[in-house]
Amino acid sequence: MKKLLASTFLAAGLYALAGSAQAAECGDVSIAEMNWASAGVAAQVDKFVLENGYGCTVTLVTGDTMPTFTSMNEKAEPDVAPEFWVNSVRTALDAAIAEGRLIQAAPLLSEGGVEGWWIPKFLADAHPDIKTVQDALKHPELFPAPEDASKGAVHNCPSGWNCQVSTANLYKATEAEKAGFTLVDTGSAAGLDGSIANAFEKKQGWLGYYWAPTAILGKYEMTKLSFGVEHNKAEWDACTAVPDCPAPKVNSYPVSDVYTVVTKAFSEKAGVAMDYMKTRQWDNGTVGKVLAWMGDNQGTNEDAAKYFLQTYPDMWTKWVAPDVAEKIKAAL
């Protein structure tokens, strides 16, 4: 028994030393809690994991794309931007990486940020011949317009958003009007979401623009249609994304690269936390379901982070060592 106790105390002592070492390596960490839902939840997941798994002291700071990038690039603050859509600052970020100020860690969204034209999955299952936008446009009767059921509807992106321009140009490029469709102005994000919810309640066809990861695609199963062509960046920049382009061509939406970005100083001072940042990533489907739960339960980013950690242990336990996972589970 003495031998057993001695071994136990030794193990406990080594464990405590290991924990102290981790805390010392990690120290204080500042994380940008961006002002959109998926990024906010990611920041709260990181906070919980780093505090309870690695003994870090985490401070969350309010963030948005450009202010956060500028602050990280010029002041090395905050330490981490968990969900950073890098295409918006690609050139400047490449320069910051080359000059040793910032590091691009793992892609947080394994599939990237996705945009496109979608239809309900129940409709796709019932009509397996519809694989592309062009296939859908052969069937205006399946996607009745809200104001004139004799026509099909393509639901546009909210007014004033960049995607409103690209959707209108792709509507023109695919000759949707000639196929018997009308372009529906949904007015706002709430209007667009409402049109999808209404279609599912009525088990009715719906065709239009949406993006992932989002709560709507976590709540309602949708199928993204192909445009039948690869993304053409030159065409996109010159025409697809340009208002009132006179002769748009069929094009595919780009996939946005979404990475975790950290400062070089952080990578050098927080080894254990950096290992985690190099590993963790989640898919759009999971993020969408977490966001849908948050909306249905009026939860905060922190609530949604705990829901994710409690509901998807098979995913996040692969991001950390087994002993770290046990400490996180114990804290939930």
Length of the chain, in residues? 332
The DSSP secondary structure of 286-329, one letter per residue, reads HHHHHHHHHHHTT--HHHHHHHHHHH-HHHHGGGS-HHHHHHHH
Considering only CA atoms, which of 159, 162, 206, 211 is closest in space to residue 185?
Answer: 159
Q: Which residues neighbour 283 within 8 Å (Cβ) at sequence distance 6 or greater? A: 109, 110, 111
Put the strands of the sheet holding 152-155 in their side by side order: 181-184, 152-155, 208-212, 114-120, 222-224
Q: Which residues neighbour 90 within 8 Å (Cβ) at sequence distance 6 or greater? A: none
Place of tokens 């990475």: 259
**And the tokens for 237?**
């920049």
- Determine the 3-state secondary structure of 225 from DSSP: coil
Does the pLDDT of residue 14 top 70, yes or no? no
Q: Which residues neighbour 269 within 8 Å (Cβ) at sequence distance 6 or greater? A: 25, 27
Give 87's pLDDT tier (boundaries 50, 70, 90).
confident
Does the pLDDT of residue 143 top 60, yes or no? yes
Greater confidence (10 vs 58) lies with 58
Q: Among the residues of the chain, which ranges form H helices?
A: 2-26, 37-54, 65-75, 90-98, 121-126, 133-136, 162-173, 189-201, 215-219, 233-235, 264-269, 271-277, 284-296, 301-311, 313-316, 322-331
User: pLDDT above 90 covers what percent of the chain?
Assistant: 80
Greater confidence (223 vs 24) lies with 223
Residue type, 187: G
Greater confidence (170 vs 9) lies with 170
Does the pLDDT of residue 11 top 50, yes or no? no
pLDDT the model gives residue 7: 40
Q: Do residues 156 and 184 lie in contact, with contact meaning Cβ atoms separated by under 8 Å?
A: yes
pLDDT tens, position by position, 103-132: 999 999 999 999 999 999 999 999 999 999
Place of tokens 């546009």: 156
Q: In the beta sheet, which residues pair with residue 113?
A: 256
Q: What's the rounded Cα separation, in Å, for the pair 223 and 124?
A: 7
Q: Which residues neighbour 298 within 8 Å (Cβ) at sequence distance 6 or greater? A: none
pLDDT tens, position by position, 302-331: 999 999 999 999 999 999 999 999 999 999
Instruction: State phi, psi for 135 to the nearest 5 degrees.
Output: -60, -45
Q: Which residues neighbour 143 within 8 Å (Cβ) at sequence distance 6 or greater? A: 119, 136, 152, 153, 154, 181, 205, 206, 207
Using the CB atoms, write b or e for 79-98: b if 16+ within 10 Å. Answer: bbbbbbbbeebeeebeebee
pLDDT the model gives residue 9: 35
Considering only CA atoms, which of 166, 171, 173, 201 is closest in space to residue 184?
Answer: 171
Instruction: Answer positive or negative: Cα dihedral of 160, 138, 182, 177.
Output: positive
For the segment 198-207, the average pLDDT, to the nearest whole number, is 96
CA distances from 193 to 94, 216, 281 (A): 36, 7, 27
Considering only CA atoms, which of 113, 106, 110 is closest in space to residue 88?
Answer: 113
Considering only CA atoms, which of 61, 48, 35 is closest in space to residue 303?
Answer: 48
